[in-house]
Amino acid sequence: MSPKLENKRALVTGGGRGIGAAIVRHLAREGAHVALSYVSKPDQAQATAKAAEAFGVKALAIQADSADPTAVVAAVERTVRELGGIDILVNNVGIAVIAPIDDYRLEDFDRTFAVNVRAVFVATQAAVKHMTAGGRVINIGSCNAERMPFAGGGVYAMSKAALVGLTKGFARDLGPRGITINNVQPGPVDTDMNPANSDFAKMLVQLMALPRYATGDEIAAMVTYLASPEAGYVTGASLTIDGGFTA
């Protein structure tokens, strides 16, 4: 059987490590040429690109701060230029600043919105100009859009809830062009930024139906499905993969 995404061209924002890196590897394994953007840790980003190349596809790492709209557009344009087009955009990059309402800084609010929401809009607007029918846009939201069980996470939850509405609205814009857009809402995932063996993790696991963190590969598998031909009738949806966190 041929790989499901053979010769497709993809950009994964924030693809250097964590969930993003897992998505890059899964797309490459299914035959997609992949670009990934990163803001720091270039060694990790280059290692992820090399891991993708091991599947026999083209891969490139692009330094771009998603808080900068010009850099976001430039990353899309470089992807198109070096891979010959773009068929799949995964808006994965995101930040979380957790602080009580009385102490929350306006600059942290602005950067959270810029990275978690505005960058999704900017990248999507830039990418769909180059997409044809069959194109895919996949946003990485969070189950915190539906449940925020601890104090200090209101701004993060707001930013991820915004993706639900953005996804639904853009589905109407893009549907007539044969392009789908969906929103994946992970629960706690074992990454270097949120390790499964921390005291914070022990608290979260108690709130879940499945008492464990997800792996990045589990999230990437859902993203790969949405990027595949099998998901051609799925659009405007927010798909939760959270071990029962919101159950």
Residues annotated as part of the active site: 156
DSSP assignment string, 164-175:
HHHHHHHHHHHG
Torsional class of 141: left (φ above 0), alpha (ψ -120 to 50), beta (otherwise): beta
Cβ neighbours of residue 182 closer than 8 Å, sequence gap 6 or more: 137, 138, 139, 167, 226, 231, 234, 235, 236, 237, 238, 239
Phi, psi of 237 (to 5 degrees): -100, 150
Nearest-10 crossing angle of helices 119-128, 69-83: 30
Report how far Cα 103 is from the mean position of its chain's Cα atoms: 28
User: For residues 3 and 6, what is the distance between their CA atoms, to the nearest angstrom?
Assistant: 5
Look up residue 215 and give its two tokens. 């792996």
Answer for the pair 18, 193: CB distance below 8 angstroms, yes or no: yes
Report how far Cα 205 is from the mean position of its chain's Cα atoms: 23
